[in-house]
Structure 1
């Protein structure tokens, strides 16, 4: 009898849940099926898509164009927030520090919840510029993400589509989400602060969140430029499992509906596995 993916995870022991997931290629029938579904979905739509989904409990992952760089747009704000909060954890800064007349906590809230570009550049200036964020990423062995410009510079230079600056691969971005979620690069207090803001994200409601069942917890950050539509974040499944999802899209039409469909396909596949696992254990009783 074939044991569903979640059943195999539970059988291996609770200890695995305390380890930082290391992404592994789709190999189980469930993940191969998911990858085929995603391939078919993006092939039926115009434009180019980069997708990665990572089970934060066991490290299993699927990816479409996972190693191709895409413009991050405002999804870079997660890395900026991570770099600032890391300095808070080190005692070099505090969330109460005043940044242009506002507490840092409020400026970060504006950056993540409303995707305020001016607030973002205020945080960047306080840190010392994009190079500091880049160094923070590299110090935690997060490669595949480039942070080159302020938001003002990015918009002025109209960085998008074919630009080689301020880009990330889907696999790299899902890796950043994994590290932020694991609290290995931030304290639990900073992690809680960050993900609470992501949960309250007010932009891009027609993307990852749009087609998920009512009440599904989503913590995300969107990004938008001319010809670019992104959404990255974490979906909490009915069994409490957390799945990091990255969808980068450029060119073509109707990118937001496709992102919503991608998220629903990923959600359904993991929800089905949960139901299969429960049914398996009921049979074993």
Structure 2
């Protein structure tokens, strides 16, 4: 147990920073190598990237700039959806409630599948505004995400790049994804409903999904503003292992191809990364 704990703490410590010098003793760790490769990849491109990935089976995490806040853009819509579905689970609302002429289910579908901004703001208003969604995050112990403005306000104020509002760290975003997937904040029915919508996402074909093998299950939500390209969600590996991933990109060029390349790199490494890392650790301890 002590060995396993030390190993987990080691990987968690790596995830908080951007790059860490590789020593002979730790160079074998697959997730450490993954971080090194991601760092090298993004260093070869202009702009700034924040990346985090967590194995939802074992909790092992890899991150680059994992604690740096990045503009969320439309990835905030996952928090809006989860907050609304929590109230459905509590019996305070239903998917059949009418919201400006359409059911809540249709509004959620439009917001997640097509990234409809009007639907997002209608759901914001129903919940009581951005502050209520922010409070919902805090109530579930999710810190590192700020929800400050409606989508209309965000676009009107052109909030992006260096803005300190409506931001999330990559590690905070994968924490939200982990909570959504793990059944701790949503009922199985609400979780299934949201994941089904994410599976149908139409706006991210050139990001996380682009370079993954045909047939790979991806459930994601994109975010886009001037100079901002994001994609966050879940990748299911061939053995059934699920990985939550968040890739935020601001400035520079070729953001979408980089997101695609990073996602494929994570897919390749996470397929057997934890098994190889533990084996290496046991050999050198």
Question: Which residue is 2:210 aligned to?
Answer: 210
> Does the CA contact (< 8 Å) of 1:238 and 1:271 recur in 2?
yes
Question: Which residue is 1:3 aligned to?
Answer: none
Q: Deviations over 1:102-132 (max 9, x none)?
A: 1100000000000000000010011110011
> Does the CA contact (< 8 Å) of 1:112 and 1:221 recur in 2?
yes
Question: Which residue is 1:96 aligned to?
Answer: 96
Question: Which residue is 1:156 aligned to?
Answer: 156
Q: Deviations over 1:207-259 (max 9, x none)?
A: 00000000000000000000000000000000000000100000000100000
Question: Which residue is 1:247 aligned to?
Answer: 247
Question: Which residue is 1:262 aligned to?
Answer: 262
Q: What secondary structure does 2:231 align onto?
A: strand
Question: Which residue is 1:125 aligned to?
Answer: 125
1:69 is displaced (CA, Å) by 0.4
Q: What secondary structure does 1:24 align onto?
A: helix
Partners of 1:148 and 1:238 in 2: CA distance: 38
Q: TM-score, normalised by structure 1?
A: 0.87
Any stretches of 5+ residues in structure 2 without a counterpart?
Answer: 5-10, 15-25, 278-285
Question: Which residue is 1:181 aligned to?
Answer: 181
Q: Deviations over 1:85-114 (max 9, x none)?
A: 000000000000000111100000000000
Partners of 2:275 and 2:133 in 1: CA distance: 41
Question: Which residue is 1:16 aligned to?
Answer: none
1:270 is displaced (CA, Å) by 1.6
Question: Which residue is 2:165 aligned to?
Answer: 165
Q: Are residues 1:143 and 2:131 paired?
A: no
> Does the CA contact (< 8 Å) of 2:216 and 2:236 recur in 1?
yes
Partners of 1:30 and 1:275 in 2: CA distance: 9
Partners of 1:273 and 1:242 in 2: CA distance: 13
1:276 is displaced (CA, Å) by 6.6
Partners of 1:264 and 1:151 in 2: CA distance: 30
- State the aligned residue count: 257
> Does the CA contact (< 8 Å) of 1:134 and 1:146 recur in 2?
yes
1:25 is displaced (CA, Å) by 3.8
Any stretches of 5+ residues in structure 1 without a counterpart?
Answer: 1-11, 13-22, 278-285
